Amino acid sequence: MTSLPMVVVGASLAGLRAVEAARKAGYDGPLVLVGAEEHLPYDRPPLSKAFLDEGNAAPEQTTFKTEEELAELDVELRLGAPATGLDTEAREVLLGSERLPYRGLVIATGAHARPLPGEKLAGVHLLRTIDDARKIRCALEAGARTVVVGGGFIGSEVASAARKRGRQVTIVEMAPMPLTRAVGKQMAAACAGLHARNGTELRCGIAVDRIEGDGQVERVVLSDGTALAADLVVVGTGAVPATEWLGESGLTLDDGIVCDETLATGAPGVYAAGDVARWTNPLFGEQMRLEHWTSAAEQGGRAARNALDPDAASAYSTVPYFWSDWCQDRLQMVGLADADEVRVLGDVEDDKWLALYRRGNLLTGTLGLNMQGKIMKYRALIKRQSTWDEALSFAGVQ
Amino acid sequence: MKLVLDENKCSSLGMCESVAPDVFEVGEEGALTIVNSHPPEAQRELMEEAVEACPTGALSIED
């Protein structure tokens, strides 16, 4: 009797960690990794960071594992094969006309960069895949005047990469202040201030009306009529969870696949991980969907172990963590940004500061600029559900 | 068991410290120090977790 395979859909970080964890857990049956892109699993954070820098990063360096290393894990790779549907009753993943049965399934299809409406001109790019990053890198090398649409982390990092090469760059952000959801209103202003220091022009509270050019982009026209000359436009206006193939699946979709604390989707044997998963984080008792490296890696492993042994499924609890590199500066955030109070330690005009976030009487978040030596100590405090007073005392301000 | 740090890859993101603060610490100047590069065998699982948690793949274990 041949046993059904364990299937992982999505061949990026979470999917790779899922197959690795399955083997590490002692599963020696058939294991299939399905990926929409042609490429072997690769690392995405560098794509908007070191990959864009001058004289840096041959593209293959972002690949996690070679084909030989993956062969050692005895994983059947199905790359360039986007999943098109899921039948949870028959327990089959649809790959076009093919039906792939599974004994357990981890969905880790990630998210797509949100596109701009309208006709697409040459020189206008999203940044999600390594193919996108290559094109942006080439344009920066060619000396492009750059306009970035969206002042989030991807947009800010691309702008930083352009500035490092001495290129002129403008960020256009529709909201009154970028990054408000990620770091809260108060600290968003501090982060936005970094752009000015780096020579990036930031235009907030204004929309892009249209992008013009004759085949190749020439200018970005804003809602007030201003025209910004551009050879390269990078659109970084957020990501949308890749659930379009699950419309008929019966899974609960609400800005991601809704999961319980153990990353279970509710369908037998089906778990989700990474950017596509909206799960209940027991540490904060609320639903969240994270687009962070750390949670994707950890959820991939947890989802696989839970899918292999649902009766022993364990919850995934975490203090969210992300980082962003802007020119010479590093921002790091642990915990949640939505808070009752934010206390800044230091001066936001300086090149080093910390901000503590309070909810009720607990420390629930910390944001640092160039505070690598401190940030994980605060992450530990948040994980232990330390009180605000304990945090202030640790910080030496009380 | 010996912990090996590739300083060219490490960018002090701090996940190893988060996993095992007794063994790894990012200092005030932002550089990672391995406080104990020969942790006891009983900590192997935790050390493997720290290696996996590194976003830049800068850590490894030599037996």
Question: Do A14 and A60 contact (CB within 8 A), yes or no?
Answer: no
Q: What is the pLDDT at residue A178?
A: 94
Computed over every residue of chain A, the mean pLDDT equals 95
Question: From the candidates A291, A354, A372, which should be mutated to test the interface with B, based on the most B CB atoms within 10 A?
Answer: A372
What is the value of ipTM here, to two decimals? 0.95
Please check the confidence at residue A55 and state whether its pLDDT lies above 80: no
Confidence of residue A1 (pLDDT cuts 50, 70, 90): very low
Residues whose CB falls within 8 Å of the CB of residue A32, separated by 6 or more in sequence, listed in order: A5, A6, A7, A8, A75, A76, A78, A100, A102
Measure CB to CB from residue B30 to each of A323, A372, A380 and give the nearest one. Answer: A372
pLDDT greater at residue A148 or residue A56: A148
Residue A376 to chain B, least CA–CA distance (Å): 6
Higher pLDDT, A3 or A263: A263
Overall average pLDDT of the A234-254 stretch: 97
Nearest one of B7, B25, B29, B6 to B15, comparing CA atoms: B25
Q: Identify all chain B residues contacting A370, using CB atoms and an 8 Å cutoff.
A: 30
Interface of A with B in 260-319 (CB under 8 A): 293-294, 297-298, 301
Residue A10 has pLDDT above 70, yes or no: yes
> Given an 8 Å threshold on Cβ–Cβ distance, is B18 in contact with A332?
no
Dist CA A184 CA A342 (whole Å): 9
Q: Where are the beta strands (DSSP E) in B1-63?
A: 2-5, 24-26, 32-34, 59-62
User: Cα A128–A212–A227 angle (5° rounding)?
Assistant: 100
Interface test with A, best of B6, B8, B17, B48 (most A CBs within 10 A): B17
Mutate to test the interface with A, among B28, B49, B51, B52 (most CBs of A within 10 A): B52
Q: What was the pLDDT predicted at A274?
A: 98
Binary contact (B53, A321; C-beta < 8 A): no
How many other CB atoms are found less than 10 A from the CB of residue A349?
Answer: 9
pLDDT score of A60: 56
Give the pLDDT confidence of A195-231 residue by residue, as tens digits. 999 999 999 999 999 999 999 999 999 999 999 999 9
Q: Report the relative pairing of strands A111-113 and A239-241 from DSSP bridges.
A: antiparallel
Indicate the pLDDT class of residue A116, thresholds 50, 70 and 90. confident
Residues of B contacting chain A (CB within 8 angstroms): 12-15, 17-18, 21, 26-30, 52-53, 55, 57
Are B26 and A376 in contact (CB < 8 Å)?
yes
pLDDT of residue A245: 98
Which pLDDT value is given to residue A56? Answer: 66
- What is residue A59's predicted lDDT score, i.e. its pLDDT? 56
Q: What is the mean pLDDT of residues A34-54?
A: 93
Is the separation of the CB atoms in A173 and A203 below 8 Å? yes
Closest by CA to A265, choosing from A32, A94, A86, is A86
pLDDT digits (tens, 9 = 90+) for A124-175: 999 999 999 999 999 999 988 999 999 999 999 999 999 999 999 999 999 9
CB atoms within 10 A of CB A166: 10
Question: Which residues in chain A have their CB less than 8 angstroms from residue B30's CB?
Answer: 370, 372-373
Average pLDDT over residues A362-387: 98
Interface A-B: count of C-beta contacts within 8 A: 41
CB-based contact B13 A323, cutoff 8 Å: yes
Q: Which residues of chain B have pLDDT under 50?
A: none
Q: Which of A53-62, A232-241, A308-317, A379-388 has the lowest mean pLDDT?
A: A53-62
Please answer whether residues A315 and A261 qualify as being in contact, where contact means their C-beta atoms are separated by less than 8 angstroms: yes
Indicate yes or no: CB of B15 within 8 angstroms of CB of A373. Answer: no
pLDDT value at residue B63 = 82
Report the helix count and the strand count for chain A, using DSSP H and E.
9, 26
Residue whose tokens read 């490429």: A39
pLDDT tens figures, A289-328 = 999 999 999 999 999 999 999 999 999 999 999 999 999 9
Provide the percentage of residues in chain A whose pLDDT is more than 70.
98
